[in-house]
Amino acid sequence: MEPILLYDTTLRDGTQGEKINFTALDKLKVARKLDDLGIHYIEGGWPGASAKDWEFFQMAAQEPFRHARMAAFGSTHKYGTAPEDDRQLQAVIESGASVGTLVGKSWDLHVNKILGIPLDTNLDMIRSSIAHLKKNGLEAHYDAEHFFDGYKENPEYAAKTVEAAVSGGADAVVLCDTNGGTLPHEIEQIIEEIRAVIEKTASGPVHIGIHTHNDSNLAVANSITAVHAGATMVQGTINGYGERCGNADLTSIIPILKLKMGNECISNENLAKLQKVSLYVSETANMTPVNSRPFVGKSAFTHKGGLHVDAIMKEPRSYEHITPELVGNKRRVLISDMAGKGNIKYKARELGFPVDENNYDYTEIVNTVKRLEQEGYQYDVADGSLRILMEKLTDRFKPCFELESFRVTVEKEKDRPCYSHAVIKINVDGIEEITAAEGHGPVSALDNSLRKALNNVYRNVLDPVHLVDFKVRVLDGREGTESKVRVLIESRDEEAIWSTIGVSEDIIEASWQALADSFQYKLARVNNGNSQTQ
C-alpha cells in the first residue's frame, strides 16, 4: 500500500478561521514543525494576493526542509488574460515553491452566476493555467472548488473540469467539499466514478486528493471515506482550523490512517510528536486548545469513574481505543469526591510519585481530597493544585517561593476606568524580594508583581507562561457578597497546559491561591528538569 500523501493547508485555509492570524515569521515556525512531523506538502499561502504570504515564501525558500515540499496557492488565470500575463499565476511561479496549487470552478452555478463566463471558457482557463505551471517546471495541483455540489447537480460538467486539469498536465486533482454538506456515502460513490474518468483521461499517474470542510461535522469521516474509495492525497489543517466550522483535522486523520488503516503516511517516531505539534500551532495561533479534541486533546484519554479507573489499571485497552503515547498524549485519571484508593494510586504514578504502599497513606489522601471538595475545591479540573496537595500530604513539597505579604489597591477616578496596584513580598531561599506592579485589575496586578519578583531569581523561566482561562464561580449565593468563591486558572507555556484552583470567601485570596499554585507548579517542573507539565 502506497503511503497517503498529507497536504497541510493550516497556513492558508486555516488562517481563514475566525480570530486566527499568523505573521510571516509565525508561518515559518509552524512550517518547520510540520516538516519535522513528516508532512509531505505544506501550503504556505497565496503569494499573489498577500504581501505577508510573499514574505513567507521568500523566507521559506532559504529553509532546508527535510520532508515537505512547499506549495504556493493561486487561482486559474483571469478571464480575458493569457496565463503568461496573469499576475497571480506569475506570483505562484516566482514564489520559490516547487508546487503550485490552483483553485478553479467545477460547479456550473459558479461559472454561470459568479464568474459570468461561458462554461467552455472556464474549461480552457483550467487547462491552460495548469499547463502554464507545468511549462515553468512546477508540480501542478488542481483544487476543484465546490466539486461535490457541482457533481451532484451537473455531473457531466464537473467531470469535464477534472478532464481539463488532467489534460493540462495536473499531477494531482483535489476534489473539494467546499460547503461541507456532502455525506460519506456520496463521497465514496463520486470518487469511484471520478477515478474512472481520470484513468481514461490521464497519460500518467495522477493523484486524487480530498479537501473537506466540517459544516456537517463530517470532515474527518469524509476524508477517510475518500481514502477508502481510492484518494491518495488528503488535505487538512492542524486542529481543524479553517473558515466557518473548520477544515478536516489532520490531528485525527493522521492517526486514523496510520493506526486504524495501516497506512505508513508518517513514521511511528513522528506520530509521537502529534500532540506537541497540535499544542504548538494552537499557541502560535493564540487559540485555546480543545480538551475534548480526539487523539491529542487533554481529555482524550482521561478517566474519572472508579470502575473505569479500576479497569484501565488492569487492562488499558478495556476503555481506550489506542495507546495514548503513540500520538504523544498520555493517560490521565481525575480525582474527585468519587475517587477511591485506585484513583489516588494511579494519579500518584501519573504525576511522577514513587508508588509504595508502605510509605503512603492513600486513605488520608482520599479523605483529604473529599473533605476539600466539600469545601468547594474541584481537583478533577486542577491537576496542578492536586499535585501540590499530594506533595504536601506526603512531606515532599519544596516551595520555590513563599509569600510574606501582599497589598492590592484599586483606584477609580471619575473619568477613567479602575486601575490596580500590587506590592508583594516573597521569600526565595531566605532572600526577600519586594516588587510593585500595575494591572488592569487586582489579579492582573498581582500576577505582574509576582512575575516581576520571581524573574529576579528565575531568569526568563516564566516568560512563556501566560493565562489561558480565568473562571470564577460563586459556590453558594445565599450569603450574598460574602459567599465563598472558587477560582480556576488555566495556564500554558509553549509545550503544555495546567490548571490550578483556589477557594475563599475573598475573591482576591482565592485568585492568589490559584495563581501561586500555577507558578509553583511550573517552577517545580523546571527545577526537576522537566518542562512538560501537562
- Tens of pLDDT, residue by residue over 18-71, are 999 999 999 999 999 999 999 999 999 999 888 999 999 999 999 999 999 999
Higher pLDDT, 109 or 386: 109
Q: What is the mean pLDDT of the chain?
A: 90
**Which of helix, strand or coil describes residue 512?**
helix
Which pLDDT does position 130 carry in this prediction? 98
- In which order are the strands placed within the sheet that holds 431-439? 402-411, 419-428, 431-439
pLDDT single digits (tens) 413-436: 877 788 899 999 999 988 899 999
Q: Do 5-285 and 401-457 have matching folds?
A: no
Alpha-carbon torsion 340, 346, 350, 356, what sign? Answer: positive
* Nearest-angstrom CA–CA distance, 338 and 130: 62
Name the pTM for this structure.
Answer: 0.76
| Residue where the block lists cell 487586582 | 442
Which pLDDT does position 357 carry in this prediction? 53
Q: Which fold would CATH assign to domain 5-285?
A: TIM Barrel (3.20.20)
> What are the structural domain ranges in the chain?
5-285, 302-393, 401-457
* Nearest-angstrom CA–CA distance, 465 and 510: 20
| Per-residue pLDDT at 155 exceeds 90 | yes
Class for domain 401-457, per CATH? alpha beta
Which pLDDT does position 340 carry in this prediction? 64
Eight-state DSSP code of residue 258:
I
Mean pLDDT of 256-260: 98
Which pLDDT does position 276 carry in this prediction? 93
Q: Which residues pair with 420 in a beta bridge?
A: 410, 439
Read off the amino acid at residue 394.
T
- H/E segment holding residue 234: strand 233-236
pLDDT single digits (tens) 307-344: 676 777 778 888 899 999 999 998 887 766 555 666 77
Binned at pLDDT 50, 70 and 90, residue 375 comes out as confident
Share of the chain residues as helix, strand and coil, in percent rounded to the nearest 5? 45, 20, 35
pLDDT single digits (tens) 451-466: 999 988 888 788 888 8
End-to-end CA distance of the chain: 36
| Per-residue pLDDT at 305 exceeds 70 | no
* Nearest-angstrom CA–CA distance, 29 and 21: 14
| Per-residue pLDDT at 358 exceeds 60 | no
* Nearest-angstrom CA–CA distance, 127 and 500: 58
Segment among 17-21, 107-111, 285-289 with least mean pLDDT: 285-289
